[in-house]
Each structure stands twice: as structure tokens, then as C-alpha cells.
Amino acid sequence: MFTSTIHRLNTFLNAADSIVNLSLTRAAATAATRIINPSDPISWGFCGFSQSNEDGIIDYLTRNLIKPDYYFIEIGAGNGISNNTAWLAIARKYSGIMIDGSSSILHGKKLISPYLSGNVEFVQLFIDSENINGIKEMALVHNPDVFSLDIDGNDFYIAEKLFKIGIRPKIFVVEYNAVYGPHKNITIKYDPGFQLSHDHKNPNAHFYHGVSISAWRKFFLKHGYKFVTVEENGVNAFFIDPAEFKNAFTEAITPLDFRDNYYQVANFKMGWEDRFKYIADKPFHHVD
């Protein structure tokens, strides 16, 4: 029994080494190919732990902060490894909080804790409007360098509440739903128990979630943020508080305004216009 347990533990740790080392190697390789143009956010990107090139965009933005505090918060952190803040936690030695509703975040804690030098908390919690106040109580910093939000559902309402309780990140990364297109100002109706269906054979369920890019832009503009860009695979968007950056940096940025979700286009062989037809009769909230 004891020998079997040790074997499983060694297998587990070897898997952790493989995942982290592969991600770090991938980050180094993709970062080395960059030709950075300060006005072109897409040129900043590289991919290590993130889904696409978010690691590089976040890395470049944080290095241009006037006064960084080296702290992040991520809601929707998944397994703690494949997300938008693992690069900061492992390679940049940031502290912060990773939150996810599934138990995978606690398994991820076991995987990456040996690679951390900062103080990173791992919290299993399904965030809704009722328990969002707990974020402020947990957070050591209320204007963290980076806040990443990706819960595939009530993202708009959670972001709205975060500002109300006094959380104001320097850099805010949010997922947008490309199915809604570049101009609709919409999000789903609030549903505290909403969970995205992962039935990839049922577009009616899979396409209805989250927030349009135009609605996000209106929302963040209202709070004094500047739109930086979407990333080229059409999943995440980036916003910054201009007060935290030099004017020359923010004024030079030329964003990529919209990109369709590459993964959905490849999987369903349809552009966003055709995908939206599957959910056009769903209940939406129009963002003013």
C-alpha cells in the first residue's frame, strides 16, 4: 500500500514537472519570436500557460505599469495552470488569488505550489452576486495589477458588482462572446445558477453565455478604462486604467477591435452571424 502511494505521488509530481516545464518552454520559444511594436498589442503576445497569446499581452502591460504591486486576482482560474495568471504566478513571482467553482483548482494547487515564490491562494468557490463581497475580504490588494474574469456566464454582473464594492484593477482581462458579433450591446440575463453547457454538438446551448465585445467596451468606458485590444483567437479582451500608465504608452495603442472565435469557427464551420441564429430567441440584457 505504502509503495503504491509513493508511486502515485511520484507520477503526480512528474506530471506537474512536465506541464510546468512545457509551458515555460513554450513561453520562451514564442516570446523569442516576437517583434514588439508598442502600438500593436497583437505583437506583444506569446503563449505559455494561457489559452492563446494572453501571457505576452499581460506581461507587456504589467511591465509598463507606473507603480506595479505584483498582485493579481483571477475568477475562473480553471486548474490553476492553464489560465491568464499562471505566468505571473510562476515566471514573474506574483502573489494573488486564483478562484474557480470546480475542484480542479485545488488539484492545481498541488501541481504548481512547489513552483511559486509569491503568496498565491487557491479558492474553490462558485462566484455570484451574493458572495462577491468575499473577494474584497480575501484580497490583499484592491487595485491589483491584473484581474482576469472568465466564468462563461454572469461575467458582466460580476464585473459590475466588483466596481461597486471597491475593486479597481489596473489591467482588466475579460472573456467576450464572439457569437454576439462586433456591434450588439448584449449579455445574458442574470441567472445565479447559470453554467455553460459543454455539449459541443448542441449549438443552442453552447453559444449562449457571457458578454459581447461592444457591451464590454461601453461598460469599461463608463468606468474610465481604455480598451487595449482583443486577442487574435477571439476569446479575451483587455482594458486598462489609463491613470496607471504613461500617456505616451496609452495614446500609442492601436487595438484589434474584434475577432471571431477561432475555435468555434473551426469546430462548427460557421461565422458568428450564422452561430447567433441558433440563440437569437434567447433572453438578453441590453447594456446601456
67, 156, 273 from 175: Cα distances, Å: 26, 10, 19
pLDDT computed for residue 52 by the predictor: 92
Contacts with 215 (C-beta within 8 Å, 6 or more apart), sequence order: 156, 180, 184, 185, 186, 187, 287
| CATH class of residue range 2-286 | alpha beta
In the chain, % of residues over pLDDT 90 = 76
User: Which stretch of DSSP H or E encloses residue 247?
Assistant: helix 247-252
Q: Closest Cα to residue 56, out of 249, 229, 267, 251? A: 229
Query: Over the stretch 143-196, which tens digit does the pLDDT of each residue have?
Result: 999 999 999 889 999 999 999 999 999 999 999 999 999 999 999 999 888 877
Query: Within a 10 A sphere around the Cβ of 190, how many other Cβ atoms?
Result: 15
Q: What distance in Å separates the CA atoms of residue 26 and residue 136, rounded to the nearest whole number?
A: 34
Mean pLDDT by 10 residues, the chain (288 residues): 38 60 88 95 96 96 98 95 95 96 89 88 92 94 97 94 97 98 97 74 79 98 98 97 98 98 94 96 95
Pairing of the two strands 146-149 and 171-175: parallel
- Ranges of each domain in the chain: 2-286
pTM: predicted TM-score of the whole model, two decimal places:
0.92
pLDDT computed for residue 169 by the predictor: 98
pLDDT computed for residue 197 by the predictor: 66
pLDDT computed for residue 272 by the predictor: 97
pLDDT computed for residue 3 by the predictor: 41
